[in-house]
Chains A and B, each alone.
Chain A
Amino acid sequence: MPIGNAQPSVRPAPAGRTGPARGGLSTERAGNRARRSRGGARAERFAPYILVAPAVLIIVALRLYPLILGVNFSFTGDGVRNGLAVGLDNYRELFHDPLFRTALGNVGLLVLLLPVAVAIPGLLATFIYLRVPGHRFYRGVYFFPAVLSPVIVGAIFNLLLAFDGPLNAVLASVGVRPVDWLGDPDVAMFMVVGVHVWATFGMALVVFLAGFATLDAALLDAARVDGASLPQVIWHVIVPGLSRTIQFVFVTTLIGMLTSMFGLLFVMTSGGPEGSTYLPEYYIWIQQGQMNRPALASAASTILFVIMIVVGLLQIKLLKRAGRED
């Protein structure tokens, strides 16, 4: 507990001051020394606060104050009730709005899909590490999509996944009925997440490759000598050896999914079909920009903020635990 630790460090000062007075033996010299040390102690006591003040002020003025304003706005009304306190009305409305519930449900879906999003770069990095034929080529190719902007990626996949697009043409040539990839509410969200994973897994791949650099090659050799198969090597040697890297990729991938899918959603589905691909971010944008409901958007932002706090705390917990294991 930081608060508990802080208290003893300020207590000795008053104790030192009362010490001589209690004994009744204070001479002029002793008094001078006490005064001098009293001034020095005060400067020492304030110095840390002064030194951190600029950083604290910036955070308070540019982060916390707007944040509190935003939370405050979320308790006021829109339109004719502009500026009036409405208590929890906005939150009540949000939880009655099937669209917002869909958006929260999709956050849950993202969490469920997270292992897949982590496993793909993990497996591909493993193959590169194990030097499959052409691994140098693949290393470059896998990273390539990471440099494209979401808007460009979205536009490319809009063409590929169109009803009369090339993917359906390929399927038709092998006798499969065409699928409306971005127009079927049961499929569209998976397509968007899939494209997001395709566009961003290059970064995670690089992190995995860095993790592999710290892996002890002797362990792999030992496993091979003992006759372990490839799946056994992956499961019993590589995964335990990379546990910290895997945890890190888990957390960063989740944050990436929750905060940077807007561009793809905007370009690929506009939240549709039937509202099935809404995420909280997109909902906030629609309410503030299109529906002219800034207070409702503030309430939705507050909820997204709380979700992100929970994710952030989990992240800290995971990283701390990983640090302890070390």
Chain B
Amino acid sequence: MKQRALWSAVLVAGLALAGCGSATDSDSSSGGSEEKLVVWDWKSGEASAAPYIEKAKADFAKKHPNVTVEFVAQPFDQYYTLLGAAIQSGKGPDVILFNGGGQIRDRVDALAPLDEYVADDRQRLAGWDAFTKDGKIYAGPVTLQGHPIYYNKALYERAGLDPASPATTWTEFVADCAAIARAGAKCFALGNKEGVGIQFWLSALASGILTAQEYDDWIAGRRDWNSANVKRVFQLWQEAGEAGLNNDGANSTAMFNDSFALFQSSKAAHVIGLMSDVGHWKDFNEFLTPGKLGVMDTPVVTAGTTPSLPYDGGIGYGVAKWTKDPKVAADLVRSLTSTEALKAFYAEAGAIAADSTIDVSQAGPAAATIVSEIKGGKPALHVALSSKTLDLMGRLSQQLLSGSITVDEVVKQLAASDQAG
């Protein structure tokens, strides 16, 4: 017995002291052969993405006729888990689809910088910031993702409001919400089960709360969590919950897609949605009809602020650093972000493409409003935060809604997490 205990002690001590090896292999060897590029994504399996993939493949075949491209569609639920395993082993796909923001920034160790290859695309495409870390670009943007405030014009009419001129200040907005409540609908469709609701709230309302200086500082990484305006974001969130502006049970309502279903079925007049993929103009158009779907500017909370559309690069393709010839892989990324390919993506999959030269007048007034606001738009605030801080913010926002925490405590914890990351 003594001997066994001794051996265990030696083993544990040895492991603790040595701690050699690593969880994610820093050295890497090549995946895929020279003649073949492997692409990982969660899109290429969908029927609506087929024309896009086809166009991109054709474009790439013109440049490199003897390189074959294989698309491997992974399930999105498991995507980053599988990718983590591939990165750990230092082997895997050559070209990888990423969500902009934290998901790609946390993994740039495994990626090759693309600055020299994509220089010609810088003007044509928007949304690069979400794929940039420390001044280097790691992916070419395919779609833009942002958080417009959609509203239901039919409910506005029922509540006796003018659907053509939604509220421009927060005070007016709350008054409108009261009218909507009298008409039997909620003001906001909110799904905060996953803790994502607060992210959308922060980004959609910030341009009407933070001063331009505070906004730019936030994006640049100088975040003052103790400023009165940052606190105001969370106070409004709490007040909106207490005042009954949200649907009941927001903490147990899934954003994808229960909260969007509430908006589509006219049970709530507003929703902070997305621009691409899901919960966006194309989905809402189908249920509410394009004529009844509007996109409004952020109501001004702090006098003197100018509302702007919060958006970033949504998804984009990056190149793994273990690929044999980064130039060829980067050319594939350029084909995947070519105007022709992106046009197919916008039309079939219902996304606001990163290419601002595409004409969207066929998609209804909501999409047209969004595209017209892209020029004046700014990066979304939550995208600048680390996944860890976002996770914490999600849990704290649930506590704010249930009233078990104060705003001061929330910003204190978030500041600590933000500075640690």
Contact = CB atoms under 8 A, between A and B. Distances in A.
B193 A273 contact: yes
B237 to A, nearest CB: 15
Given A73-B22, A290-B80, A294-B84, A272 B106 contact: no
A5 B223 CA distance: 68
Q: How large is the interface on A (under 10, 10 to 19, 20 to 34, 35 or more residues)?
A: 35 or more
B252 A180 contact: yes
A42 B202 CA distance: 76
Contacts of B207: none
B369 interface: no
Q: Chain A interface mostly helix, strand, loop or mixed?
A: loop
A38 B23 CA distance: 50
B87 to A, nearest CB: 9
A181 interface: yes
Contacts of A82: 22-24, 26, 109
A211 interface: no
A291 B26 contact: no
A249 B67 CA distance: 59
B323 interface: no
B20 interface: yes
B21 interface: yes
Nearest to B78: A289
A294 B24 contact: yes
A72 B20 contact: yes
Interface residues of B, number: 40
B306 interface: no
B19 interface: yes
B387 A292 contact: yes
A264 to B, nearest CB: 14
B249 interface: yes
Interface of A: 1, 3, 68-69, 71-73, 75-76, 78-79, 82-88, 99, 161-164, 178, 180-185, 188, 269-270, 272-275, 285-286, 288-292, 294-295, 298
Instruction: List the 10 shortest-distance A-B pairs measured between CB atoms, nearest first.
Output: A163-B249, A85-B19, A83-B22, A183-B252, A289-B81, A75-B19, A183-B251, A294-B23, A295-B23, A182-B252
Given A163-B252, A274-B395, A291-B106, 15 more contacts: A1-B1, A73-B23, A82-B22, A83-B21, A161-B252, A180-B251, A182-B252, A183-B250, A188-B252, A269-B193, A272-B394, A272-B395, A273-B402, A290-B391, A294-B24
